[in-house]
Amino acid sequence: MVRAAVIPAPNQPVQVREYPRPKLEEGAALLRTLFSEVCGTDLYLQQGLLSETPYPLIPGHATVGVVEEVRGQVCDTEGHPLLGGEVVTFLDVHGTCGECWYCLVAKASTRCPHRKVYGITYGADEGLLGGWSQYVYLKPGVRIVRLPESLTPETLIGAGCGLPTALHAVERSDILLGQTVLVQGTGPVGLSTIALTRLRGAYKIIAIGAPEMRLLAARRMGADVCLDVEKTSIEERHAAVMDATGGRGVDVAIEASGDPAAIQEGLDLARDNGRYTVVGQYTDHGPIQVNPHTQINKKHMDIRGVWGIDYSHLHRSVLLLERYNDQFHWEQLITHTFGLEQANDALAAVGSGQAIKAVIAPWGAENST
């Protein structure tokens, strides 16, 4: 039997359940899980804050493991067949149809109505389709990426879903060499955003976040100025940002905080004719106030929402980890590792902000490396 951690229903504690080991259809593979991530989205899932979640649900959308079994030919994107034994990760998004108006005319695959997401929109009744499980069933068409030899599973899961999400956000932000960038939020997405902003050659990076431990991580990922959102007033932060930017505000601000209140502040901290990228508003906390004259029109502002990732973001994230992990050490973001039985503790550690990054090791932390 396969053990998996399951959210049975909204606001219910996670339970460990057992499932039969699945039989593979042609083109499918079975992954023996090494690590799966605990993400803020998993908290929302447990709290019932995402619409249309198919409970019971096995969470875990960023996962690394070893190919245990393959049926038929299963290849990575480079066309190399998988034989079993490879350490791989995979894109959680599956089933983007390639046939609909969004895929073909708008070329906006992250808005394809057919896309399904492992650990989020695939429920446990459909199979082992989340990473908080000893095995994950990789359906035909799942995009699999082999880890380069120099890349450990810990580094990959330390970057988790935050890195490709940050890559998408940073790419949408069109940062120029030598510009000054504000990153709001110092959770996993914010921290990877800081690292990638560094990798785009920003001049100065200002981070707003909390608590102290995360601000230290922000500094390690490349932030030049760190402002503790819990210990400073909005006026103090405004003064600090203006001081750091000749009174103009930042060229680019990126919201990765999850806090709706960050939006108004961010719009004021970006300079005229600047850019504001919103990647952290992954659930509905209701409306906020925006002044369309002073914050959009007269400011000649660009505001860009960023939803989801596509394969290209994951693929290039793995390349960046291979090449630049020496500089950023993503595995050091992991502060907590839990077994399946401790999944509720894992959620608590993330919810309280105690953890920077918590991971689930379904075979036990001690058995994962």
Considering only residues 303-362, where is the footprint of a second copy by CB under 8 A?
303-308, 310-312, 315-317, 319-320, 322-324
268 binds a second copy (CB under 8 A): no
**Which H/E stretch holds residue 33?**
strand 29-38
Select from 26, 177, 230, 352 the one that contacts a second copy (CB under 8 A).
Answer: 177
Joined together, the tokens standing for residue 328 give: 């950023």
Give the residue from 36, 13, 7, 40 showing the smallest Cα distance to 351. 40
- Report helix, strand or coil for 31: strand
Interaction of residue 246 with a second copy, rule CB under 8 A: yes
Q: Which secondary structure element, helix H or strand E, spans residue 17, and what is its range? A: strand 15-19
Residue 236's nearest CA partner among 269, 273, 272 is: 269
CA distance 63 to 122: 15
| Residue keyed to tokens 């006026």 | 235
Tell me which residues in 272-291 interact with a second copy (CB under 8 A): 272-273, 278-291
- Rule CB under 8 A: choose which of 101, 150, 234, 341 binds a second copy: 101
Asked if omega into 56 is within 30° of 0 (cis), the reply is yes
Q: Is 150 in the site for a second copy (CB under 8 A)?
A: no
Determine, following the binding rule CB under 8 A, whether residue 108 of this chain makes contact with a second copy.
yes
Identify the residue among 204, 219, 220, 238 touching a second copy (CB under 8 A).
204
Size of the site for a second copy (CB under 8 A): 80
What's at 289, amino acid-wise? Q
**Residue 326 burial (CB < 10 Å; 0-12/13-18/19+)?**
exposed
Sole window of 177-185, 212-220, 236-244, 328-336 interacting with a second copy (rule: CB under 8 A): 177-185
Contact range with a second copy by CB under 8 A, out of 14-22, 107-115, 117-125, 131-139: 107-115
Shortest distance in whole angstroms from residue 32 CB to a second copy: 24
Among 93, 170, 346, 356, interactor with a second copy by CB under 8 A:
170
C-alpha span between 153 and 86 (Å, rounded) = 11
User: Per-residue x/- marks for a second copy, 222-241, CB under 8 A?
Assistant: --------------------
117 contributes a contact to a second copy by CB under 8 A: no
- Within 61-90, which residues bind a second copy (CB under 8 A)? 75, 77-79
